[in-house]
Structure 1
Amino acid sequence: MVRHGFGLAWLLLVLCLLPLVPAQAQVQAQLDRSQLALGEVATLTISAEGADASPDYAPLERDFLIYSPTMRRYSQMHNGRFDSRVEYVLGIQPRRAGQLQVPALQVGRHHTAPLSLTVTDAAVAGSAGSAPGAGPGLSFIRTRVDTASPWVHQSVGVVVALYYATQLSGGELVQDVPEHAGLQRVGDDRVDQAVVDGRHYNVVERRYLLLPERSGLLSLPPARFRGRAVGAGRGQLLVAEQDPPLQMRVQARPANAPDPWLPAHDLLLGWQVTPDRLEVGQGVELVLEAQVDGASRAQLDSLPLPADGPGYRLYPQATEVEERFDGDRPQLLLRRRVVVVAEQPGPLQLPAVQLDWWQVDSGQRRRTVQPAISVQVLPAGTARPAAAATAPALPAVAQAQQPAPARQAGMVWGLALLAMALGAGLLWYWRRRGAPAALLPLAATGQANLQQQLAQGSWQEIIDALQAITGTHDWPGLMGALADRQQQQVLHDAQRSWWGADGNDRVAARAALRAAFAAGPALHPAPVTVPVQPLPPLYPP
């Protein structure tokens, strides 16, 4: 016994010391953009968890100039463990145009992964700025788009960048809307720095979403700025204008285009969480998610869902839409939640979900498919015991303290005899007092529990209370046990209110339930049984 206690103490000590073990160091590098023009500055961020050494920036100096490296340190407690993270942030300016690579950088005993960076010339198609051959002035504007030949109704990212080599006391940056296209400002302005022809500039980038409405030539009007620089008196007047305007060739919608028309660079579709099993009558939430590269809410604002099928019902909710910019291109994220309620045990299969779209880079029609998923539906009340059966085994120390087989057999026989004695005593008591009198307190307790759950319980707790009174174990059994059609309808309406997209008014649903079941569930009458008279004795006394 002492040996077992000593082993248990060692086990507890090891478990207590596990959170103090330092986590393995993780080092990661990322850029704030994947493409920039020559003369601009990108931001490189190196995150190090568990590493205390500074990065070696020497490999960067071959292709980049380094500006203002800084360090930020973060510390927090997570799951009982003290985690520390260090971020090294610096600006890097390419020395030449082309496809460059940010090399792997050493941080202590670890290395970051190399990163790719596309550096374009300042005078490439799709950008505008100062006239060729003329040096930049005190302020100028450059505009870039993510594609110069979009398709009609394609979401095009537009970035207007204002460069100024002085401090501003105010000003206004204006971008007019082109003809036969929609233009919408997206997000907040972004502040950066760049070096152009040896001069340092502050940069303000403003992002827009452009939607061409018809095919043909599209001209984006020049962006313009008017403001004042900080100086003597009231300040020097600054005026900047993009020159020349951008020209884009919009392609027409092809004859074999899908309907609805959805031009994009890429599309991913899938269920985020899929259960392997569920119970009859219980609701399980599934989330369908779509990630679209190069699209906006104007093109796609909802996701399709399968229809109700045999043995289940779906209660969809509204689609959640999130829009953002990744570099110079719009990104769209859609999530649609749906609650699945199984009505009968057995295999349940949700049909496949698919989206047709147009791949703008290759000019081809595409279809993204989320295959059908299968879920095993268990009878009500069986999923929770099954989950409990998968609990981890007892530790070796606890198993060693279990009784030997001989003692277990003796305990089993003793418990069996005790159960038989208690059963005989209860049977004698019921025959003397009568079974119905003993059942009355149980019914009263079930009714009191039902009223309590109707007042403040969850949907599943209300169903459990009703099933306890009716003696049923699943949704079809409960519906069959109710004799009042109004109570059945109130239950169906409340289920839609709890799980459906239009069922936000759960207060009204709870009030209807309390009114319908104020006197308890109305059940079908039990069949009347005629007591069988005993046969007269063959030989009367």
Structure 2
Amino acid sequence: MVTRILLLLSLLISSQAALALDNLTASVDKNPVLAGEYFTLTITAEGKVKGTIPDVSALSQNFVTSPVSTSSRTSIINGSMTSSTSWQVQLVARTPGEYTIPAFEVDGAKTQPITLNVVAQQDDEQSKDIFVKATLDSTNLYVQQAGLYTVKLYIGQDLLDGQLSAPEAEGATVTQLGKQQEEYEIVDGRRYMVITREYMLQPQRSGDITIQPPVFNGQVREGYRRMAVSAVAEAIELTVNPIPSEHADNWLPSEYVNFSAEWQPQDTNVTVGTPLTRTFTLTAVGVTKEQLPELNMEEVEGFRIYPDTSERKQITRDGKVISQLLVSFAYLPQRSGEFVLPEVSLPWFNTVTKRQEFATLPAKNITIKADPNQSKTVAPTSSSESAASALTDSATTAETTVQNHIPQWLWLITALGYLLWLATVVAWWLFHKARPTAKPLAQAEVNQPRNMGFADAVKKDDPQAFYQALLAYLHQQQQSLSDWLKTQPSEVQSQVHALQASLYGKGTGEINLKSLYQALQKAEKAHLQQQSTTPLDSLY
């Protein structure tokens, strides 16, 4: 019995020794390989490992890498136990040359480095089945200037599946623009399916930057076989110029900038209290929409100026990144007279002429007229007017005296006319009572502003949220704030102006949001009731 126990212990000890890490090797399935062709690196550990995964991060400096896959195998033959663990990673080199795959370490054991030869693909018919082209609109940019990087994958075979990696550039941000496009082109008399992707590239430092091209890896059908294919574009060298120190505070690099403004209404000869809307449009080529500067208007004596709407857009056209900013301001004249709005100037750096320029809007002359509907001061009554008034009073007194002697038959005619009028009123009342009553307006229609967040803003006493709800409501109605105010009663206009002054002006007074909300509901209800009244109702 003791002998059996000792024999079992010896077997366990020998098996544990057999499971210890004995050997660590690394190999590739192809050498040499073609540029843009995937190959497999395998790291194998003979014996027991502690679950450690080899660090392969150094490979990303020279290769495009896939995730690491792990497999294990254990076997017992004639009482002897063996174990092995393998790690595999797919690699591809973008450019030809001689590369060294470094040594890897697992549990204290190391592999031997591998020298790999990468050769250029031959320009033959086979290599023309699938290929990738990459272009950059300009290879000489400034820091933060946007360039358009375009990738085109040409596929001339029956594609089963595939992956196209993104370009990489150390020292620059690369962002894909929109979705990829698919179309067909004929190249050298052969039809290809072309997949196009556009990327915006923005260098963040000066100097030389190498744009590592995208790599395609996939499978195609050739007859009844599935074949692995791969392709890679050529790398592009980019020269990045630094930001000139004298323009660092207002840096806007572009090859073209356009700055314009429009007035609504176009006729700027308006009366006091009539709002004007001024919409600025700033367009720049070669920058992102986030790089466009904010527009702030200077205070003008005699006006209250409030921001209205703002919108930023970005598109690509003819290989260029084009951004646009639209900003509207409401100008509310406070008194009559002649006014001059100062010019608006924006500095920008012309990347073509390599000097600073200014996008300028000239000063604007505006004439504000007094409101003719304002109440006028009553002039003192002259002596002649007093005399005329006295004569009128005398005539009225005389007429009253004469009417005191009206004959009785005239009183009888008057009484009959009164009875006839009274009968007409009763008939009219009975007729309207018999008619079906008009359907009341739906509560949701009368209180349309309620759904836009007004009630919550009033409850929280949040003027900013109330103003944003008002802008959202007008946007839903497809109206601008200035046009809408023209149709509102003076009570609503004055309270909205007070709200704007508290948010964007120098006003510090308290705003009664509840009162303003009730005034908006009252005005909206009156507007809806006026729309629901038919021409036939007005006759009665």
Q: Which has more radius of gyration?
A: 2
